[in-house]
């Protein structure tokens, strides 16, 4: 139902916390017109943060996560998003640390990757005293955009990538005209970005059989699934798991 309906629902459920919305210039005016015309008074404050469409930008950062926006090419200003975990510190190998009588006070240095020097001058490598952490997870989101492989660098090596797939490739001229991407092109983009899993969406209403789009995408990138209402994709460490609650499943 879109962003406006989501905000209405939050208001209906008595949200009071501030809401931060990141999007292109003009989005705030669109929402404010709808609130005014519907005489809606929100119980919470909305902060609009304008995303640029010229370069990759850091939007949010905490101890665990970074969120970036990056430019896409469409008829109106559009951007994609990258959600990326920060690298976790190395884990202490308690057994090996006990073996060398490593004091607790140096554990933070070990987690940061430093070696340990014994009282007799011997150097114990960090690899022996710590365990490699789980790899950081990442999700890339490419909304409406024309096919452009130069954008692949923004989502390089992502665990999970969403990319629009509006047309079959037989309508590539229409895709160029409307600044959209074909199914085959979405697969080529995922391959160029070296992502682990691709999900495609934003399908033209002309297609009743979405498997046609899925099959075409898989010609270029086998690890592809359809982004359908009711499907949830979970980025677990080293694999993607999805739960299908679509009607009839």
**DSSP codes of every residue in 200-230:** EE---TT-S-THHHHHHHHHH-SSEEE--TT
Claim to verify: residue 39 and residue 114 sit in the same structural domain: no
The predicted-structure confidence for 144-170, as pLDDT tens digits, reads as follows 999 999 999 999 999 999 999 999 999
Q: Structurally, how many domains does the chain consist of?
A: 3
Claim to verify: residue 107 and residue 28 sit in the same structural domain: no
User: CA 54, CA 140: separation in Å to the nearest integer?
Assistant: 18
Claim to verify: residue 70 and residue 22 sit in the same structural domain: no
Does any domain span residue 249? no
Whether 248 has a pLDDT exceeding 80, the answer reads no
Question: pLDDT band at 1, cuts 50/70/90?
Answer: low
Claim to verify: residue 12 and residue 44 sit in the same structural domain: yes
Which pLDDT score, from 0 to 100, does residue 47 have?
A: 95
Claim to verify: residue 46 and residue 71 sit in the same structural domain: no
Claim to verify: residue 169 and residue 235 sit in the same structural domain: yes
C-beta atoms surrounding 145 within 10 Å: 22
Claim to verify: residue 44 and residue 99 sit in the same structural domain: no
For residue 209, what are the contacts with CB-CB under 8 A and spacing of at least 6?
A: none
Question: pLDDT band at 230, cuts 50/70/90?
Answer: confident
Whether 76 has a pLDDT exceeding 90, the answer reads no
Does any domain span residue 191? yes
Q: What percent of the chain has pLDDT over 90?
A: 85
Which pLDDT score, from 0 to 100, does residue 241 have?
A: 86
Q: What is the mean pLDDT of residues 29-50?
A: 93
Q: What is the pTM of this model?
A: 0.85
Which pLDDT score, from 0 to 100, does residue 246 have?
A: 65
Claim to verify: residue 19 and residue 141 sit in the same structural domain: no
Does any domain span residue 145? yes
Does any domain span residue 231? yes
The range of the structural domain enclosing residue 20 comes to 1-50
Does any domain span residue 159? yes
Does any domain span residue 99? yes
SS3 240: strand
Which pLDDT score, from 0 to 100, does residue 247 have?
A: 64
Claim to verify: residue 73 and residue 95 sit in the same structural domain: no
Sign of CA dihedral 28, 34, 36, 38: negative
Q: What is the mean pLDDT of residues 35-55?
A: 91
Please check whether residue 225 is in contact with residue 201, taking contact to mean a CB–CB distance below 8 angstroms.
no
Which pLDDT score, from 0 to 100, does residue 130 have?
A: 95
């Amino acid at each position: 139902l879109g962003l406006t309906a989501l905000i209405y629902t939050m208001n209906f459920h008595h949200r009071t916390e501030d809401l931060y919305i990141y999007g292109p210039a003009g989005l705030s005016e669109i929402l404010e017109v709808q609130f005014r015309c519907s005489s809606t008074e929100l119980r919470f404050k909305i902060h609009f943060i304008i995303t640029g469409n010229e370069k990759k930008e850091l939007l949010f950062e905490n101890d665990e996560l970074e969120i970036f926006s990056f430019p896409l090419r469409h008829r109106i200003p559009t951007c994609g998003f990258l959600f990326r975990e920060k690298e976790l510190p190395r884990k202490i190998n308690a057994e090996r640390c006990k073996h060398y009588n490593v004091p607790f006070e140096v554990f933070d240095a070990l987690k940061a990757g430093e070696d340990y020097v014994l009282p007799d001058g011997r150097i114990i490598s960090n690899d022996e005293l710590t365990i490699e952490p789980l790899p950081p997870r990442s999700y890339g989101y490419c909304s409406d955009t024309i096919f452009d492989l130069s954008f692949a660098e923004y989502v390089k090596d992502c665990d999970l990538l969403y990319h629009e797939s509006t047309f079959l490739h037989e309508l590539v001229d229409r895709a160029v005209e409307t600044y959209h991407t074909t199914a085959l092109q979405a697969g080529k983009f995922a391959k160029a970005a070296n992502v682990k899993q691709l999900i495609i969406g934003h399908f033209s209403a002309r297609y009743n059989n979405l498997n046609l789009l899925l099959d075409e995408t898989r010609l270029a990138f086998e690890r592809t699934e359809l982004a359908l209402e009711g499907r949830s994709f979970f980025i677990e460490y080293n694999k993607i798991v999805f739960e299908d609650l679509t009607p009839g499943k």
